[in-house]
Structure formats: structure tokens, C-alpha cells
Copies of this chain bind each other. A is one copy, B any other.
């Protein structure tokens, strides 16, 4: 019979070793304070055994759960910059911050996706209103299948139209390319130049689409732009 005096000793031993050979948990210990009743001992022991074995199962399940959680926590510890000995809450706070930072970084990259070449061939040609500052600029964008001689083709086309590229952005992805070019026209610029440019770019696209055998020879490269 468990005596109140040795409770602590037994409890400590129980806590230290994990052995469950006495009538814990507390609910059972309380029943030891009631009067001794011989004819109830057997069924009581039976109930004890059931309860004890249940508690063992429960206890070990909970231990496994703790181990699972702590295992992941330790994995997170190794993923963070070397301060491996911080408490759980601070660790999780750092993880939250890290995931937020990485997500922001990723979204920053992804927001440039509008400049990635799309699946559809596209041409945009637009010019600013030169009446304001008198400096006319044309922004031309072409998105099409890539081919190894597309850039020289494009340059030759622009030269024949007397359009000087002031700035160019090239993004190639998955065998397709998007070029955005800022052009400065010569003095003999007319309103029809935009239409000529548009037609010329369309013919470039057609040359890319028809020459399927030359497609995809260029190394697939992803050019991403991140605004500072």
C-alpha cells in the first residue's frame, strides 16, 4: 500500500525512470486513502491494470507527439543562422520573420513576371507625346519564339527604319523571348513610322514562328529584374 510518507520518493523515482509500477496516477493514489475493502481488491486491481495500461499507451503516444514536434523544431534550428541555442518561442519568432522575409523576396521576384515572355506572340508600339518636352521616344515591345539570329534581325530592322535604340531590356525564358526597346527616331519621323515599325516587328515574329527548326537552339535563360 502506498503510504503518504514515501509518495515523494516514489514519485521522483517514477518521474526519473518512467517506470509505472505503482498505482499512479493521482486518482488511484487518492483511492488508497479510502478504507481497505478486500472483496473489491480483485476487480479494483483489474480496473487498475486496465487504467494503468491505458495510461501507458496514452503516455507513450504523447511522448511520441512531443518528440515529433521537437524534432521539427530542431530541424528549424539548423535552418536558421547558427544561434542554435535559443528557446522555442524565440526560435518560432525567428522562423516567422524568416518565412516572411523569404516570401517578400520571392514576391518581389515574381512581380517582375509581367516582363517574362508570355506564351502568346505580342507586339506593342507606343510613343510619348513630344509636345511636352520636345523629345520623342518610342517604346517597342516584342514577344515571340526565340531564335539565335533574332537580335541581329531586330537590330537590322530598326536600323532600316532609322530608329536608334536608346535602351533595351531582353528577357528570355523557355525558348521564348521578350524585348522591350526604347527608340529614338531620326528627324524624318512621321506618324506612319509607328505603323511601319509595327509591321516590321510582325514580320520578325512570323520569321520566328515559321522557322521551327531553328527554334530553341539558344540556351534557355531566365532574366529576372528586381527593382531596388
Contact = CB atoms under 8 A, between A and B. Distances in A.
A92 B95 CA distance: 10
A27 interface: yes
Contacts of A218: 167
A29 interface: yes
Interface string A1-41: 00010011000000000000000001101110110000000
A225 B89 CA distance: 37
Contacts of A7: 27, 30
Nearest to A2: B30
Contact of A220 (B31, B89, B228): B228
A91 to B, nearest CB: 9
Interface string A74-93: 01100100000000110011
Interface of A is mostly: helix
Q: How large is the interface on A (under 10, 10 to 19, 20 to 34, 35 or more residues)?
A: 35 or more
Interface in A176-195: 184
A215 B192 CA distance: 34
Contacts of A63: none
A14 B225 CA distance: 60
Contacts of A228: 174, 220-222
9 contacts: A26-B26, A33-B33, A68-B89, A95-B99, A99-B99, A102-B105, A155-B155, A222-B224, A223-B223
